[in-house]
Amino acid sequence: MSIQTRVDLALIAEMIAPDARVLDVGCGDGDLLELLTRTKNVDGRGIELSQEGVNASVTRGLSVIQGDADADLHDYPDNAFDYVILSQTIQATRNPREVLMQMQRIGRRVVVSLPNFGNWRVRLQLLWSGRMPRTSSLDYNWYDTPNIHLCTVKDFVMLCEDLGLHIDDAVSVIGNKAKRVGRPGSIDNLTAETAVLLMSRKK
Amino acid sequence: MSERKELQSETGGALGADAETLRVNAVSAIAHFGPESPLTLDSGAKLSPFQIAYETYGHLNADKSNVVLICHALTLDQYAASRHPVTGKPGGWWATMVGPGLPIDTDRFFVICQNVLGSCMGTTGPKDIDPATGKAYGLTFPVITIADMVRAQAMLLDRLGIRDIFLVIGGSMGGMQTLQWASAYPDRVFAAIPIATTARHSAQNIAFHEVGRQAIMADPDWQNGTYLDTGTNPAKGLAVARMAAHITYLSEAALHRKFGRKLQNREKVTYGFDADFQIESYLRHQGMSFVDRFDANSYLYITRAMDYFDLAADYDGVLAHAFKNTKTRFCVVSFTSDWLFPTSDNRQIVHALNAAAANVSFVEIDTDKGHDAFLLDEPEMFATLRGFIDSAATRRGLNA
């Protein structure tokens, strides 16, 4: 696990209240679920695309099914969870808007972490080299990247407003440093490499 | 539990001599249910008297919280972890799963495996004598369902003073019973592992069963089901039924890997209808050895019970409603090469459990061994089930 991933997971874990019902969408090998189960005593569930990840998670004693964010959130009833988490995955979904809508339907609160395509390094790379940017968190060629819906933090915040999601808390991550920003602004859109946002439905 | 003592003394000599039996502390027993406790069937008929033959492994703990119920498949029986009395096969049909230190750990759990209703290994079925006529039931035995089997199993557990089940587990038809248990007795089942199964028997699977039944009925020795009275044996029909079914338990890839087009003890084809190919010889052997241990009418009744299984039917066709408000922890398991109960069937169960906001895990095991993989050495299945069972046991307070 990279330092960035660990920081990401730790930040998300901080946002989760103890004893909550949690769904981790795109849970990988179950690292976050295990962390949350161990430190927050959550009732955790996971969805993971790769069967290897699912089997590894179940072997660790976690409740995980094979599935993906685009297809399998529809099954769950309204308000089934206290938190629905999507860690570094939204940019790889086919329909991010629909995924967010489903997340806010089945969870009282939604946690999303995403790579920021508005980061200054990304902007400069495109400007200077004239080629699609590659960074440590977005380390793919344009033709083989799973990240088909990249966005900036600002883009994401606007989508949330569109969907009636209130941003309760946000953290900007630069390297292995995290800064609580409340609500991300233009500076964060320039500096953040990753953003972690905690959201709830507007009343 | 007077019946148990009685049976233990009957088989005591054999028990003492069998090291494997000691290994899992196997106890064979039969419970009798007299006129005071009839079994009411889905068909409306009442079955009485009847009996259930079962095996137990391990020891029941003080608060009776460590019970594992194993539900067996169509032609299997209660001998999950001990030597089969007819075939002599050592270790039981689930020797890789049940035993000390294995995923179903007989050092920690009290394991019960019951022969299903309608079968022929000690639990009442069509080969038994109908006390009303003094003759074998044959086709006068009432048609039974998966729910009837489970209801009978619950009666045995009640008799044994066991209310809570830590884990219900089973593959294929055993998986159907597992789902039925979780649906009908949600507050008694802490965890459930349905393996390679379905909540609704498919048209294709009903079709295969019908081929098997017609093969049995086409055998003149079947005698309209009265072969026990006439002293005949529809062995040929039953063997053909088994041969056809056996193909569905395997996969094309496994058949190719094992047999290919290899010839049986000969250099070239004989231009006749002998078993030229190894696969023919293998299937004939499967058919012939099956008839030694299974009753033809039982095969009719149990396949029928599977055909009738449609768990959602009792809930307006919405499978999720069968698991409404369930607290049971589920782990659904399927196999990539299983075309009898394919992953898509198992995934439907998962979708329904999600819709019921149930706690569910779902693992698909990559194997070319087909449906029968659940009975075979599949290290990834063992690893994932061990993880699920250990985690559930911790939550149940069984890992002290």
Work out how many domains chain A is built from and give that number.
1
**Domain annotation covers residue A131:** no
Residue A42 belongs to a domain with what CATH number? 3.40.50.150
Min distance B319 CA to chain A CA atoms (Å): 12
DSSP annotation string for B346-362? HHHHHHHHHHTT-EEEE
Range of the domain at A111: 3-116+149-198
Min distance A74 CA to chain B CA atoms (Å): 8
**Domain annotation covers residue A138:** no
Which of the residues B329, B363, B398 would you substitute to probe the A interface, choosing the one with the greatest number of A C-beta atoms within 10 Å?
B363
Of B361, B364, B366, the CB nearest to A63: B361
Straight-line distance from the first to the last Cα atom of chain A, in angstroms, rounded to the nearest whole number: 38
Is B371 catalytic? The answer is yes
| pLDDT (0 to 100) of residue B18 | 62
- Interface list for B 286-345 with A (CB within 8 A): 329, 331-332
Min distance A38 CA to chain B CA atoms (Å): 13
Strand partners of residue B331: B361
Question: B172, B183, B298, B334: which is the annotated catalytic residue?
Answer: B172
pLDDT tens digits for A121-158? 999 999 999 999 998 878 899 999 999 999 999 999 99
**Domain annotation covers residue A91:** yes
**Domain annotation covers residue A122:** no
pLDDT tens digits for B198-215? 999 999 999 999 999 999
User: Do A87 and A114 meet the contact criterion of CB atoms below 8 Å apart?
Assistant: no
**Domain annotation covers residue A7:** yes
Which of the residues A63, A102, A105, A108 would you substitute to probe the B interface, choosing the one with the greatest number of B C-beta atoms within 10 Å?
A63
d(CA B117, CA B146): 9
d(CA A172, CA A113): 10
* Residue with tokens 């094979």, as numbered in its chain: A66
Q: Which residue numbers in chain B have pLDDT < 50? A: 1-17
User: Do B318 and A45 meet the contact criterion of CB atoms below 8 Å apart?
Assistant: no
d(CA B386, CA B38): 38
d(CA B44, CA B67): 31
| pLDDT (0 to 100) of residue B9 | 35
| pLDDT (0 to 100) of residue B2 | 36
Pairing state between β B329-335 and B359-365:
parallel
All structural domains of chain B: 2-201+310-395 (3.40.50.1820), 205-304 (1.10.1740.110)
Query: Cβ–Cβ contacts within 10 Å for residue A103, how many?
Result: 27
Asked whether the whole model's pTM tops 0.90, one would answer: yes
- Inter-chain contact B360–A59, Cβ cutoff 8 Å? no
**Domain annotation covers residue A8:** yes
In a structure prediction context, what are the per-residue pLDDT tens digits for chain A, which is 203 residues long? Answer: 566 667 888 999 999 999 999 999 999 999 999 999 999 999 999 999 998 999 999 999 999 999 989 999 999 999 999 999 999 999 999 999 999 999 999 999 999 999 999 999 999 999 999 999 998 878 899 999 999 999 999 999 999 999 999 999 999 999 889 999 988 999 999 999 999 999 999 87
Residues from chain B that touch A29, judged by Cβ atoms under 8 A, are none
Residues from chain A that touch B329, judged by Cβ atoms under 8 A, are 63
| pLDDT (0 to 100) of residue B15 | 42
